[in-house]
Amino acid sequence: MIAAVAHPTTTWYLLLAAALFTIGVVGVLVRRNPLVLFMCIELMLNAVNLTFVALAKALGDIGGQTTVFFVMVVAAAEVVVGLGIIVSILRKRPQATADDLAELKG
């Protein structure tokens, strides 16, 4: 019954994805807990996925969806490895935050 005042166009999806991406970036910059940092990266990946899918529909190209498929696979692998690293680091230093892992200090 709710008459569609406006039809969500591709642009809306893209803008939404952009917003999600931005939130993810800000999260990466602000959060100090390594795991939450990782989650924000996942947000960014999802934003990208959403962009691809929206454009796949708009351009009528199935390739966009295939790309998303691959992104998901690689994201999974990345999470696995990343968490493995976090586990091995935090085992030694249980309360470490992203600021404490500063071995690259010049």
Partner 1 sequence: MELFVFIVAAGMILGGAVGVITRSHPVHAALSLILTLFGVAVLFVAQNANFLAAVQVIVYAGAIVVLFLFVIMLLGVDRAESLRIDPVKVQRPLAAIVGVGLLAFIGGAIIQGRDTIHKRGAGIDIASATTSHDSNIKQIANDLFSNHVFAFELTSVLLVIAAVGTVLLARRPGRSGAADSSVSAGSPSTTAGATDKAALR
Partner 2 sequence: MLDIAWLIPALPLFGFLVILVLGRRLGEPKAGYFATAMCGAAFVVAVGVFLDLMSKPGDQRHKVIKLFAWLPINDLQVNLSFLIDPLSITMILFITGIGSLIHLYSIGYMHGDPKFSKFFLYLNLFVFSMLMLVMGENLLVTFLGWEGVGTCSYFLIAFWHTRDSAATAGKKAFVTNRVGDFGFMIAMFFAFKYVHSLSYSDINNAATSHQIAAVTATAIMLMLFVGACGKSAQLPLYLWLPDAMAGPTPVSALIHAATMVTSGVFLMTRISPLITVAAPWASTLVAIVGVVTALFAATIAIAQNDIKRVLAYSTVSQLGYMFLAIGSHAYVAAIFHMVTHAFFKALLFLGSGSVIHGMHDQQDMRFMGALRKLMPITAGTFIIGWLAIAGVPPFAGFWSKDEILLYAYDKSPILWALGLITALLTAFYMTRQVIMVFYGKARWNDDAKAHGAHGDVKPHESPVLMLAPLVVLAGLAIVGGGLNLPFNSTTEKLSSWLAPVVDVGERSLHHSSEDIKWVLAGIATLGALAGIAVAYLVYEKHRVKAVEPVVLENAWYYDKAVSDFMGGPGRESFDAVAWFDTHIIDGAVNGAGRLVQGVAGVVRKGQSGLVRTYAALIGVGVVLMLAWFFFRGVAQ
User: Which parts of 50-79 interact with partner 2 (CB under 8 A)?
Assistant: none
Q: Work out how close the CB of 96 gets to partner 1 at its nearest, in angstroms, rounded to a whole number.
A: 9
What is the distance, to the nearest Å, from the Cα of residue 69 to the centroid of all Cα atoms in its chain? 14
Q: At what angle do helices 34-59 and 63-92 cross, to 10 degrees?
A: 180
Site string for partner 1, 8-37 (x = CB under 8 A): xxxxxxxxx-xxxxxxxxxx-xxxxxxxx-
For 9, which DSSP code?
Answer: -
Number of continuous H segments (helices) and E segments (strands) in the chain: 3, 0
Residue 93 touches partner 2, criterion: CB under 8 A: no
Work out whether 41 is an interface residue with partner 1 (CB under 8 A).
no
The helix or strand, by DSSP H or E, that contains position 47, with its residue range, turns out to be: helix 34-59
Of 5 and 103, which CB lies nearer to partner 2 in the complex structure? Answer: 103
Using CB under 8 A, list all residues that contact partner 2.
25, 28-30, 32, 98-99, 101-106
